[in-house]
Every structure is written in C-alpha cells, then in structure tokens.
C-alpha cells in the first residue's frame, strides 16, 4: 500500500506537524516541573468565583486548541478532506487531543499539571465545581504518562485519534479511512524499528477518551444553565463553535 519512501515522508510529516504546533517544548516543560503553586496562591485561586475561573480556563483551553487545529491542518491529507468532515473530526477530536497533550504537561511524580506558568494540583481547580471531570482528566494523564511516550509516539497517537473513520456524519468516510490506515502503518513501522510495539496494546481506549470529552460537554451544559450570558458573551468563538 505504501512504499518505503512514502512511509518515511508520512512519518516526517506527522512528527513535524506535532513539533511545530506543540505550544510548549518538552524541555521547557521539564525545566519547570518542580515549580508549584504556593498554598497562598492555591487558596486565592480556589476562592475565585466559579464563572471567573471557568472563563479563565476556557480561554487557556481555546489557546491550546488553536495549536491543535494547526496540527490538523499540517497533517498531509487533512486539508484535502471536505470542510464538513474537517469540522466533524475537530469537534470530536480537539478535546481528545488536548487530553493527550495535557499528559506532556503533567508531572507524574506529584500529579500536577502546567497552568499559567507553574504546576498545579487538582485542588487548584476546585472553584470550577466539576471535581469528577478534573479528576478523570488527571487520572487519564497519570496512566498515559506511565507509558512514557516519546514525542514521535505522541504525534502518531494524536494523528490517529483525530482521524477517526468511525465517526457519524462523515461525508467522505473512505478518505478519512485511507488516511487513518496510512498513518497507522507508519506508526507500526516506527514502533517496529524502536522495539516499542507493545505500547499498541497499552494505549488508552477510544472509549476512555470520548467519555472524558462527554463529561466536559455535560459540565459545560450545567455551567451554561447557571451563567448563560457569560458562556455566550465571554467564551471565545472557537470554543463555542466546537462545543456549544
Ligand atoms: C496544552 C497547554 C494547556 C493549556 C491549558 C474544563 C474546564 C473548565 C477546566 C491547560 C479544566 C481545568 C488547561 C487549563 C484544567 C484541567 C485545564 C485548564 C496542553 C494542555 C494544557 C496544559 C491544558 C491542560 C488542562 C488545563 C490545566 O499544550
């Protein structure tokens, strides 16, 4: 199905697309890994009103999603899909890819995540009022970090998660399916060369990712019922386009 050169080009494409859009370089995230919030800073953030904290987090999430959209655009073949299918894939995949990327910004040793320049414990997000969502996000990162994925592997896992040919509403499913298969093949090839094939059976299941994304949509709905005008007027257009 693919020649050796095609495999090589595809591999470079996926890896570059990730590297060029990853927002924070792995080295920089590593350097800051032990910079955590002081108890005073934690307390002040925990006491913020719910709507303010939501707005702040949603803005950061939207920034990160802009990079994810850029990743998608750079994947060879994505821009050749029809615009409807591009949107279908991003609506379903943006949050899943954010979760995968979150694991790069997660310190496994003390369960903290990079937030506004430092590493934050789960309790910092208390005022959002969605403990179950945040704790499942943290749990997910904890288990993904345990696999110690390289940046190359992360790039492929993201591409395969995004190009899900099983999604409803796809108009040109065969195109997405062909793209998915090619990337899958290139991924296998990389893993063979690095003797890491075993991770294929250990990667998180699609259901796990989509259930966390579903929970995010449910929490957003609850928030919108409580603060309809905040969600409408202050959330960024891209966030609303994807999730509302
Ligand atoms: C990205 C950089 C990045 C940016 C933002 C659902 C909700 C209202 C709140 C980070 C979730 C709270 C997010 C900001 C919290 C878990 C969110 C708020 C990788 C991901 C990362 C680090 C996001 C991770 C999840 C954060 C901390 O390149």
Q: What is the pLDDT of residues 128-143, one digit of tens each?
A: 999 999 999 999 999 9
160 closest CA partner among 29, 18, 65, 20:
18
Could you tell which of 42, 98, 127, 128 is best to mutate to test the pocket of ligand 1, judged by most ligand atoms within 8 Å of the CB?
Answer: 98
Cβ atoms within 10 Å, residue 73: 13
pLDDT band, very low/low/confident/very high, at 1 (cuts 50, 70, 90): confident
pLDDT band, very low/low/confident/very high, at 33 (cuts 50, 70, 90): very high
pLDDT digits (tens, 9 = 90+) for 40-66: 999 999 999 999 999 999 999 999 999
> Which stretch of DSSP H or E encloses residue 144?
helix 131-145
pLDDT band, very low/low/confident/very high, at 171 (cuts 50, 70, 90): very high
Q: Catalogue the E-assigned strands of the chain.
A: 106-107, 112-115, 118-121
Mean pLDDT for 85-108 is 98
Question: pTM to 2 decimals?
Answer: 0.98
User: Is the Cβ atom of 57 under 6 angstroms away from ligand 1?
Assistant: yes
Contacts of 237 (CB under 8 A, 6+ apart): none
Going from the C-alpha of 34 to that of each of 30, 62, 103, the distances in angstroms are 8, 25, 16
Whether 162 and 17 have beta carbons less than 8 Å apart is answered as no
- As given in the structure block, the two tokens for residue 25 are 């370089």
pLDDT digits (tens, 9 = 90+) for 195-237: 999 999 999 999 999 999 999 999 999 999 999 999 999 999 9
Measured from the Cα of 57, ligand 1's closest atom is 18
Q: How far is the CA of 98 from the centre of ligand 1 (A)?
A: 8
Whether ipTM exceeds 0.95: yes
Whether 50 and 128 have beta carbons less than 8 Å apart is answered as yes
Q: How far is the CA of 76 from the centre of ligand 1 (A)?
A: 27
Q: How far is the CA of 81 from the centre of ligand 1 (A)?
A: 29
Over pLDDT 70: what percentage of the chain?
Answer: 100
User: Is the Cβ atom of 50 under 6 angstroms away from ligand 1?
Assistant: no
Check residue 185 and give its pLDDT. Answer: 97
Task: Output the average pLDDT for the chain.
Answer: 97
Cα separation, 80 vs 35, whole angstroms = 43
């Amino acid at each position: 199905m693919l020649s050796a050169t095609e495999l090589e080009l595809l591999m470079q494409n996926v890896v570059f697309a990730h590297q060029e859009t990853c927002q924070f370089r792995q080295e920089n995230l590593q350097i800051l890994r032990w910079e955590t919030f002081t108890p005073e800073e934690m307390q002040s953030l925990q006491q913020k009103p719910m709507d303010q904290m939501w707005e702040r987090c949603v803005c950061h999430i939207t920034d990160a999603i802009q990079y994810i959209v850029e990743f998608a655009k750079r994947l060879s073949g994505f821009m050749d899909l029809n615009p409807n299918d591009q949107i279908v894939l991003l609506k379903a995949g943006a949050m899943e890819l954010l979760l995968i990327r979150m694991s790069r910004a997660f310190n496994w040793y003390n369960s903290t995540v990079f937030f506004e320049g430092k590493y934050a414990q789960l309790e910092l997000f208390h005022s959002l009022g969605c403990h179950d969502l945040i704790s499942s996000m943290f749990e997910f990162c904890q288990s993904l970090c345990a696999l110690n994925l390289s940046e190359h592997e992360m790039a492929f896992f993201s591409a395969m998660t995004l190009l899900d040919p099983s999604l409803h509403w796809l108009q040109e499913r065969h195109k997405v399916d062909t793209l998915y298969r090619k990337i899958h093949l290139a991924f296998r090839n990389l893993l063979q060369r690095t003797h890491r094939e075993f991770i294929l059976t250990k990667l998180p299941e699609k259901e796990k990712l989509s259930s966390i994304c579903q929970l995010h949509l449910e929490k957003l709905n609850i928030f919108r019922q409580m603060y309809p005008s905040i969600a409408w007027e202050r959330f960024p257009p891209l966030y609303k386009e994807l999730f509302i």
